[in-house]
Amino acid sequence: MTVETKLALTEQDVRSYSSAKQEPSWFAEYRVQALLAAENLPMPTPDKTKIDKWNFTNFPVHSVESTPFASIAELPEEVKAIVNNEQKSVYIQRNNTPAFLQISEELLAQGVIFTDIFTAVREHSDLVQKYFMTNGVKSDEHKLASLHAALLNGGVFVYVPKNVELVEPIQVVFLHDDAQASLFNHTIVVADANSSVTYVENYLSTVPESAGLVNIVSEVFAEDNARITYGAVDVLAKGGTTYVNRRGIANRNARIEWALGLMNDGDTISENVTHLVGDASYGDTKMVVVGRGNQKQNFTTKIIHWGKHSEGYILKHGVMKDEASSIFNGIGKIEHGATKSNAVQESRVLMLNEKARGDANPILLIDEDDVTAGHAASVGRVDPLQLYYLMSRGISKQDAERLVIHGFLAPVVNVLPIEGVKKQLTEVIERKVR
């Protein structure tokens, strides 16, 4: 079904979209309430970036129909390039259409749920209701969260039952090959007690420029003793603005590790928050960014310590080329009572030329005495003597810059916890710096 409107949809549009998707009534109501609430909610306020002139509400169409893929063989080359041959469990969403799903024997045998969000809402309604915008991202946080809930038009649901430790990673590709498409994707990854999973998602535009909006939310829940490794490689086209909110909740002795390659070409607001709720929980965010053209971006990474003995680590490196500008906010917050916690962060930004801008903004907010914390941040321009040195060996200026950029990002890329993400990122970086 395609709903055409210049502005955000009406209540009736939302209801009819929901009923066309055969959603349960609680979900339809949730959407409608969120739509009504959106009117009066404020925009989010990413630190140091003014977004009041950014377009987050106008988009050409709410949803487009795309043709599904019958087999891996039918996938476009760009997708084949990132879906490893050995990848057993993979879901591909094409614009707003669930387009391909393959689930391994291992997942099926162990009762893992891995499906598009619409199927999940229909077939696992209770489970979705438990996790959907309740404890993670709430729809009344700000206008974009509520619009997201109202307009949700894609996404994926992963549930790993208790005691199931998955060895094979699960991969999701959100293919964006229709310039008119907007993505309001919602991803939920739940690792129930004592389970573990590696989830990798790719946002990939194969159109050069996009007219649509992206407003995506991921909610990631690691229950007691569970472990989630969450990789994301975002490569969305310039044109439309992107709001991406990836949030994790780690319960007792649980671990959430993020490996994020944020390589969009358009203006992007990215928020990645991990709540270390349980005692001895562990959060680790590793992020690399390459900005180019005249894009503006804001990356907030935040780890909030609630549990005792919780450990939070943030490591991010960004390179700004051309006239790109980026703010890197890193926040370590230790709540009162989170004794013996440790909050560590490091942000480094390299600017390649005069017009590129970067700002690293490390913040520690500590409400407890018995803790350890540390931060390091640096922002600098590429050293012309490094380029001179490399060029004096015959290496062209472009290749010299390429080496310096790869080198600058290597300390993060090399320690990413997912091999596939490492490899993909190296290739994306290569394309972006060429």
Alpha-carbon distance of 175 to 158, in angstroms, equals 19
Residues 280-319 that bind another protein (CB under 8 A): none
Q: Is residue 377 involved in binding another protein (CB under 8 A)?
A: no
Nearer to another protein, 42 or 384 (CB): 384
| Residue from 64, 409, 418, 428 binding another protein (CB under 8 A) | 409
Q: How far apart are CA 301 and CA 289, in angstroms?
A: 13
Based on CB atoms, which residue is closest to another protein, 50 or 397?
397
Contact map string, positions 380 to 399, toward another protein, x by CB under 8 A = ---xxxx-xxxxxxxxxx-x
For another protein (CB under 8 A), the number of binding residues is 24
- Examine residue 404 and tell whether it contacts another protein (CB under 8 A): yes
CA separation for the pair 93, 433 (Å, rounded): 28
**Closest distance of CB 385 from another protein, Å:** 5
Contact call for residue 354 and another protein (CB under 8 A)? no
407 phi/psi in degrees, rounded to 5: -65, -40
One-letter amino acid at 17 equals: Y
CB 212 within 8 Å of CB 240:
yes
For another protein, the closer of residues 85 and 392 by Cβ is 392
* SS3 label, residue 14: helix
Task: Report the DSSP pairing between strands 325-334 and 357-366.
Answer: parallel
Please report how the helices 384-391 and 397-413 are oriented relative to each other, as an axis angle in degrees rounded to 10. Answer: 120
Q: Which x/- pattern over 18-57 shows residues binding another protein (rule: CB under 8 A)?
A: ----------------------------------------
Residue with tokens 């199931």: 164
Determine if 406 is a binding residue for another protein (CB under 8 A).
Answer: yes
Contact letters for another protein, residues 169-208 (x by CB under 8 A)? ----------------------------------------
Decide whether 305 or 422 has the Cβ nearer to another protein.
422
Pick 162 or 406: Cβ nearer another protein: 406
Pairs from 49-57 (Cβ < 8 Å, separation ≥ 24): 49/269, 49/296, 49/298, 49/327, 51/269, 51/298, 54/241, 54/267, 54/269, 55/213, 55/241, 56/143, 56/144, 56/147, 56/213, 56/215, 56/241, 56/243, 57/7, 57/8, 57/147, 57/213
Q: Cα(228)–Cα(219) distance, rounded to whole angstroms?
A: 12
For the bound state, the minimum distance from the C-beta of residue 78 to another protein, rounded and expressed in Å, comes to 23
Q: Smallest gap, in angstroms, from Cβ of residue 334 to another protein?
A: 31
How near is the Cβ of 272 to another protein at its closest, in Å?
A: 23
Which phi and psi (to 5°) does residue 184 adopt?
-115, 70
Question: Which residues of the chain form contacts with another protein (CB under 8 A)?
Answer: 383-386, 388-397, 399-400, 403-404, 406-411
